[in-house]
Chain A
Amino acid sequence: MREITLSQAVNEALAEEMRRDETVFIMGEDVAEAGTPFKVLSGLVEEFGTSRVVDTPIAEPGFVGIAVGAAMTGTRPVVDLMFGDFLYLVMDQLCNQAAKQHYMSGGKLKVPMVLRTNLGATRRSAAQHSQSLHALVAHIPGVKVAMPSSAYEAKGLMKTAIRDDNPVVIFEDKLMYNDKAPVPEEEYLIPFGKAEVLREGSDITLIGTSSMVQVCQKAAETLAGEGISAEVIDPRTLVPLDEATLLASARKTSRVIVVDEGHQSYGITGEIAGRINEKAFYHLDAPVLRMGAMDVPVPFSPALEDITVPSPEAVVEKARKLVAGELIHAA
C-alpha cells in the first residue's frame, strides 16, 4: 500500500469530499494561497477556487460564527483554526451556538460544521501555541471530538466528520503532519465511536490519544522486550467514546494507563480512568493511572518543554511498576 503523510491524507479527504458534495467548503486564515502554515491545504484553492477555499481576516470568533450560520443554512463548512490554542477565542460560537442549536431548535436546525485544528507541544512554539485543548471541547455536550493518530485515521475520520450532521472538532497533532502511513487509494471512512486495538497484549492496557498513540506503541515495544505484554488502544474519537472496547481490554489485562497530551488535571485521562474504575473495578489489579501533560504552561525552553509531555520511557516505567504490583500511592 502507498504511504502518504498526514498532511496529504487530510488534503485528500477534503478534496474528495469537496468533489463529492459541492456544499462542502473551507474557510480560515491563510487557507487559500498559503495552504496553511503547515501546508496541509496546498493545491486545494487551485482546484476549487477562492469561493470554496476562503481566506478570512484574522478574526476567529467572526469566521467561526459565519461558519455556524453557513452550516445552519445548508452548507458543510470546514473551518480551519490555525492553532488549537485559538479555541479560547471561539468558545462561544462553538460551545454556546454550534453545540446547542440542534437541541434548542427542537431538532429543526443542524450545524454540520467541521472545525479543523491541532494540538501538541514540543514544537518550540511556547505557551500560547503548544496547548492540547481537546478536553475543553469534549466537555461540552453537542460537539463531537475526533483525535486521529495517523495519516490513515486523519483521512478516514475527516471524511466521516464532514458527512456528520453535528459540529465536529478534529484535532491533528501538529508534529505529525509529515509522518507517513499506509493509506489506501480507494475511498474509506472510519466510523466515530469505534476504538482501534493497535496491538494486542495481556498484561497491561495502554490507552493513548492522538500524539500519545505513538508514545504508547514505543512503550509497548520496550515492554515486550522485558516480557511484559502491553495492549495499545487508540479511541480515535473522544466523543463518542468507544467505552466497550476500553472496558473489555481493562477486564482482560487488569491494568490500565491512560496517556493523553492534554493537561493531566481535569482532563481526558481522568475521564477515561474514571469510567474504567466505575465499570471494570472488580477486574482491576492495580489503580488506573493517568499520564497527561504537566499542569504548567508549556515552556518555551526545549529542555523543559520536552519533560512536560509523557514520553515512552515514562510510560514504560509506570507500566513496570503496575505489572510488578508495586504499592502505588498507598493511602
Chain B
Amino acid sequence: MPLDVIMPALGMAQDTGHIVAWHKSPGEAVAEGDVLFEVETDKATMEVEAQGAGYLTDVAAEAGSDVPVGQVIARISDTAEGSGDAGEAAPAPPSAPESESDDLPEGHGVIMPTLGMAQDTGLLVGWLKELGDAVGEDDILFEVETDKSTAEVPAGASGYLAAQLAQPGEEVPVGQVIAILTAEAPDKTVSRSAGEAPKAAAPAPAEKAEAAPKPAQTRSEEPATRAPQPAPAQAGRILASPKARRLALEQGLDLSRLAEAGYPQPYHAKDIETLKSLPDPQAQAAASGAALQLTATAQGAEQAAFLHWAEAEGSAPLAQDALWAAFACAALREATGAEGPLAVEVSAARGASHAVIDADLAPISALESVEPEGAPSLRLRDLTASRITGLRLGAPDCPALTVMAEGETLTITLDFTAAQLSEAAAISLLTGFAARLEDPLRQLL
C-alpha cells in the first residue's frame, strides 16, 4: 500500500507550509524515520520524517512552494516507479475538500490540528457550534482530545458552520478537514462521519440553524467507538482543608452534605461540627418509614344501585369485596404504573381475609380467591359493616385502604409509608379508588 505524504500541520493557526527543501529525490529508497523534507512555518523550520519505508514517488510539490496543510505532496510506494498517477496524489487543498466528487459547500476548511509532536490523529470530543451557526474567527469550534490533553480549537476564520465532517467520538487524522465555514449563511448543511466516503454523503436539510435536527446523521456503518467524553466534573470538587477531610473521613461524614445544605466553601475543621448537626440522611431514610395517611370520602349510593342493576341483569351475583378488589387494583396500577401481578388482600370486619391477584384484569365474576401469601401489594379493609368511622394504623407493611361508612357516605383512608408510595402515587391511588366507588361504571370503561 502506498503511503501518502501530506503537508503536516505544525502550528495551531497554520494554513500552509513552505517546503524549504526535499531531502530525498523521487525514486529514492526511504526508510521509516528518514527525513523527507523540511517545512518552514511562522515559528520554526521542521524536518518531516517518513512514516513508512518504500520509495519516494509522485512528488507533487517543489521546494520553495507553499502547500496547504493536509495536501498530499508525495507518496511512499512499494516500487521506485510509484503509481505514475501524480494527479491523484495531489488532491484538492482544504479550501475545497473533495469538492470534485461531493456536494459539500464551498468555503474555508478547518482541519484537525496537530496538538502533540507525535500525534497522528485527534479524538473529536464534541462540537461547540451547531450547523448553521455564525462563527467568529476566535470562537471555539470543537474540542479535541489527544494523548495528553483536551484542547479547544478555534475556528481560525469567521463564517457559518456549513459542514461537520466528523462526529464526536471519532478519531480523525491530523490535517483532515473536519469542518467547512462558508461566507454566507448556508442554505444546506452537511453532517457526516470522518471515515465516510464523500460520495455516500447526503446533505442534511436545514433551513435554519434552530430547525436543524440534532446531528443524528452519523452515517458511518460502525458506530463511533468512543463516546464523547464529558468534561470531568471539576465543579463538583468540594473545597476543604486537609484536616477537614481527614476529620470527615475518620467520622464517616460526607462533606458534600454541607455543600448540598448551602454552606459556603471552603470547609475547615470547625465546619465538621456543623456537618455533624445536619440531619442524618439515614435518619431521613428511616423517616420515610413513618406512617402517612390520606383520607377521602365518596357517596356509596351509585354503587348499591350498580350492584342491584348487575344482579337484575341476571349475571352471577357480584360480591362487593371482589368489586372493590378490582377497583383498588386498578387504582393502584394506575397510580404506580405497575406492570407485574398485583395482589390485593381483602378483609372485612368479620371473617378471614383472602387475596385476589390482578383483580382489575379478569372479569369480576370470575375472580378467584387465594390464600394470602406474604405481604400483598395492597391491603383492602371493609369496615362499612362496623361502627368504626376513623382509624390510624401506624406504618403498615404495605399500603392499606380502609373503607368505613356513615350512612351513604363512605370514608376511605389510605395508610402508607413514603418508602411504599410517593405522595403523588398515594393521592392518585386514593382518588382513583374513591372515584370508582362513587361511579362503578368507571371501572368498566
CB-CB nearest in chain B for A325: B268
Which one, A70-78, A240-248, A279-287, A303-311, is touching chain B?
A279-287
| Number of A-B pairs, beta carbon distance below 8 Å | 31
Q: Contact flags (1/0) for B239-263 with A, using CB distance below 8 Å? A: 1011111100000000000000000
Least distance between A162 CB and chain B CB atoms (Å): 43
Quick one: which of B239, B244, B265 contacts A285, CB cutoff 8 A? B244
Asked if B394 CB lies within 8 Å of chain A CBs, one says no
Tell me, in angstroms, the Cα distance from A327 to B265 when the chains sit together: 8
Contacts of A254 in B (CB 8 A): 241, 243, 269
Task: Give chain B interface residues in 6-49, CB to chain A under 8 Å.
Answer: none
Asked if B148 CB lies within 8 Å of chain A CBs, one says no
Task: Give chain A interface residues in 270-312, CB to chain B under 8 Å.
Answer: 281-286
CB-CB nearest in chain B for A327: B266
Can you show 14 pairs from A to B with CB atoms below 8 A apart? Answer: A254-B241, A254-B243, A282-B243, A282-B246, A283-B242, A283-B243, A285-B242, A285-B243, A285-B244, A285-B268, A285-B269, A325-B271, A327-B266, A330-B266
Task: Give chain A interface residues in 308-331, CB to chain B under 8 Å.
Answer: 325, 327, 330
Task: Give chain B interface residues in 264-292, CB to chain A under 8 Å.
Answer: 265-266, 268-271
Pair B266/A284 contact, Cβ less than 8 Å: no
Quick one: which of B239, B242, B265, B271 contacts A284, CB cutoff 8 A? B242
Contacts of A327 in B (CB 8 A): 239, 265-266
Tell me, in angstroms, the Cα distance from A283 to B244 when the chains sit together: 8
Quick one: which of A281, A325, A330 contacts B242, CB cutoff 8 A? A281
CB-CB nearest in chain B for A251: B243
Pair B268/A286 contact, Cβ less than 8 Å: yes
Q: Contact flags (1/0) for A35-56 with B, using CB distance below 8 Å? A: 0000000000000000000000
Tell me, in angstroms, the Cα distance from A233 to B246 when the chains sit together: 26
| Most B CB within 10 A of own CB, among A254, A327, A330 | A254
Task: Give chain B interface residues in 117-155, CB to chain A under 8 Å.
Answer: none
Task: Give chain A interface residues in 54-90, CB to chain B under 8 Å.
Answer: none
Contacts of A284 in B (CB 8 A): 241-243
Least distance between B129 CB and chain A CB atoms (Å): 29
Tell me, in angstroms, the Cα distance from A64 to B243 when the chains sit together: 48
**Interface of A with B (CB < 8 Å)?**
254, 281-286, 325, 327, 330
What 8 A-B pairs are tightest by C-beta distance, nearest first? A285-B243, A285-B241, A282-B246, A325-B268, A285-B269, A285-B268, A284-B242, A281-B242
Pair B246/A325 contact, Cβ less than 8 Å: no
Pair A286/B241 contact, Cβ less than 8 Å: yes
Contacts of A330 in B (CB 8 A): 239, 266
**Interface of B with A (CB < 8 Å)?**
239, 241-246, 265-266, 268-271
Least distance between A163 CB and chain B CB atoms (Å): 41
Contacts of A282 in B (CB 8 A): 242-243, 245-246
CB-CB nearest in chain A for B244: A285
CB-CB nearest in chain B for A277: B242
Least distance between B263 CB and chain A CB atoms (Å): 11
Tell me, in angstroms, the Cα distance from A283 to B268 when the chains sit together: 11
Tell me, in angstroms, the Cα distance from A282 to B243 when the chains sit together: 5
| Most A CB within 10 A of own CB, among B244, B265, B269 | B269
Least distance between B308 CB and chain A CB atoms (Å): 76
Pair A325/B266 contact, Cβ less than 8 Å: yes
Contacts of B271 in A (CB 8 A): 325
Contacts of B241 in A (CB 8 A): 254, 284-286
Least distance between B29 CB and chain A CB atoms (Å): 54
Least distance between A88 CB and chain B CB atoms (Å): 39
CB-CB nearest in chain B for A331: B239
Tell me, in angstroms, the Cα distance from A254 to B271 when the chains sit together: 14
Contacts of B266 in A (CB 8 A): 325, 327, 330
Tell me, in angstroms, the Cα distance from A330 to B269 when the chains sit together: 18
Least distance between B249 CB and chain A CB atoms (Å): 9
Contacts of B268 in A (CB 8 A): 285-286, 325
Least distance between B398 CB and chain A CB atoms (Å): 49
Tell me, in angstroms, the Cα distance from A282 to B270 when the chains sit together: 15
Least distance between B235 CB and chain A CB atoms (Å): 13
| Most A CB within 10 A of own CB, among B266, B268, B269, B271 | B268
CB-CB nearest in chain B for A281: B242
* Known contacts A282-B243, A325-B266, A325-B268; 16 further A-B pairs (Cβ under 8 A): A254-B243, A282-B242, A282-B245, A283-B243, A283-B246, A284-B241, A284-B242, A284-B243, A285-B241, A285-B242, A285-B268, A285-B269, A327-B239, A327-B265, A327-B266, A330-B266
CB-CB nearest in chain A for B269: A285
Contacts of B239 in A (CB 8 A): 327, 330
CB-CB nearest in chain B for A283: B243
Least distance between A250 CB and chain B CB atoms (Å): 10
Contacts of B243 in A (CB 8 A): 254, 282-285
Tell me, in angstroms, the Cα distance from A286 to B241 when the chains sit together: 6
CB-CB nearest in chain A for B246: A282
CB-CB nearest in chain B for A254: B243
Tell me, in angstroms, the Cα distance from A112 to B178 when the chains sit together: 73
Tell me, in angstroms, the Cα distance from A327 to B241 when the chains sit together: 10
Contacts of B269 in A (CB 8 A): 254, 285
Contacts of B245 in A (CB 8 A): 282
Tell me, in angstroms, the Cα distance from A17 to B380 when the chains sit together: 102
Least distance between B194 CB and chain A CB atoms (Å): 36
Contacts of A285 in B (CB 8 A): 241-244, 268-269
Least distance between A199 CB and chain B CB atoms (Å): 22
| Most A CB within 10 A of own CB, among B239, B244, B266, B271 | B266
Contacts of B246 in A (CB 8 A): 282-283
Contacts of A281 in B (CB 8 A): 242
Least distance between B120 CB and chain A CB atoms (Å): 33
Least distance between A280 CB and chain B CB atoms (Å): 9
CB-CB nearest in chain B for A330: B239
Tell me, in angstroms, the Cα distance from A141 to B133 when the chains sit together: 64
Least distance between A283 CB and chain B CB atoms (Å): 6
Tell me, in angstroms, the Cα distance from A325 to B272 when the chains sit together: 13
| Most B CB within 10 A of own CB, among A281, A325, A327 | A325
Tell me, in angstroms, the Cα distance from A286 to B266 when the chains sit together: 10
Least distance between A256 CB and chain B CB atoms (Å): 12
Tell me, in angstroms, the Cα distance from A327 to B266 when the chains sit together: 6
Contacts of B265 in A (CB 8 A): 327
Least distance between A218 CB and chain B CB atoms (Å): 26
Tell me, in angstroms, the Cα distance from A282 to B271 when the chains sit together: 16
Least distance between A318 CB and chain B CB atoms (Å): 16
Tell me, in angstroms, the Cα distance from A281 to B245 when the chains sit together: 11
